[in-house]
Amino acid sequence: MLNRINRRSFIRRGAKVLAFVAGGVALASLLRQFFPRSTGQKRRVNLGRLNDYPVDTFTFVEDQKVYLYRDHEGVRAVSAVCTHLGCILESNDEGFLCPCHGSCYSLTGKVLSGPAPGDLNWFRIGGSPDGRLYIDMNSMVTPDFKFLIT
């Protein structure tokens, strides 16, 4: 083999390799465009004042797609997005119901019936120094986590 490499075959092989590499890089960078980096979504979002939310009910927060629950001790937030195929859940006395394929969740977000593959996420609620609430969509907590009102 070795002695068969001369200048001609070397250049020919080199050109082939180069063409493959260049083609590969071009294709990869083209395909890369189909996967944009997440466009700077704010994950920690202001939710306004505590008193905007009625006591002892789940209030739907449209932009974040969560239900906020306020009681006399504090505030909790649960995802309003069905873990099955992403429909928005309806809240009722027993828990949450999905209009799309009928998955039911308990008040703590556990799947009770239907095709949903997982329980609902709960998010961390905190207070800003100016007294407003914020929600941290990156920080998952347990259902009994509560932002305590002091």
Partner 1 sequence: MTSQKTGTDKVVREGNSYRMERIKRISQSFFLHIHSTRVHISSLRPTYTFGLGIILGFLFLILILTGVVLMMYYTPSVERAYDSVKDIVYIVPGGRYIRNIHRWASHGMVLIVFLHLARVFYTGSYMHSRKLNWIIGVCMLVITLFLSFSGYLLPWDQLAYWAVTIGSNIAASARELTDLLGITNYIDIGGFMKKLLIGEETVGQPALSRFFTLHVIFLPLSLLVLIAVHFWRIRKDGGLSCADFREGVNRESDEEKNKIYTWPVVMWAELAILFVISAVLLLTAFIVDAPLLEKANPAFPENPAKSPWYFLGIQELVSYSAFSGGLLIPLLYLGFLISIPYIDKQDHYQGRWFAGKTGMRTALYSLVMSLVVVIGQLFVMVRYGWLRDWFPGISQGVVMLVNPATLSVIGFVLWAGWIRRKTNSTRMASIALFTASLVAIVIFTAMGIWFRGPNWDFFWSRSQWPVI
For position 39 contacting partner 1 by CB under 8 A, the verdict is: yes
- 111-113 sheet: strands from edge to edge: 90-92, 95-97, 104-106, 111-113
CB of 80 to ligand FES, least distance (A): 11
By the 8 A CB rule, do 124 and 145 touch? yes
Q: By CB under 8 A, is residue 85 in contact with partner 1?
A: yes
Stretch that binds partner 1, among 22-30, 51-59, 79-87, 124-132 (CB under 8 A): 79-87
The verdict on 65 binding ligand FES (CB under 6 A) reads: no
Structure tokens at 6: 């001369």
How far apart, in whole angstroms, are the C-alpha atoms of residue 92 and residue 60? Answer: 12
DSSP 121: P
Q: Does 114 bind partner 1 (CB under 8 A)?
A: yes
Rounding to the nearest 10 degrees, give the CA dihedral for residues 34, 40, 44, 46: -120
Of the listed pieces 21-29, 38-46, 82-90, 105-113, which binds ligand FES according to CB under 6 A? 82-90
Query: Taking CA 109 as the corner, what is the angle to CA 105 and CA 113, rounded to the nearest 5 degrees?
Result: 25
Q: Does 116 bind ligand FES (CB under 6 A)?
A: yes
Mask for 27-56, x = binds ligand FES (CB under 6 A):
------------------------------
- CA-wise closest residue to 119 among 130, 111, 127, 129: 111
Question: Contacts with ligand FES: how many residues (CB under 6 A)?
Answer: 13
Residue 87 engages partner 1 in binding (rule: CB under 8 A): yes
Q: Which of 45, 59, 74, 100 is in the footprint of partner 1 by CB under 8 A?
A: 100
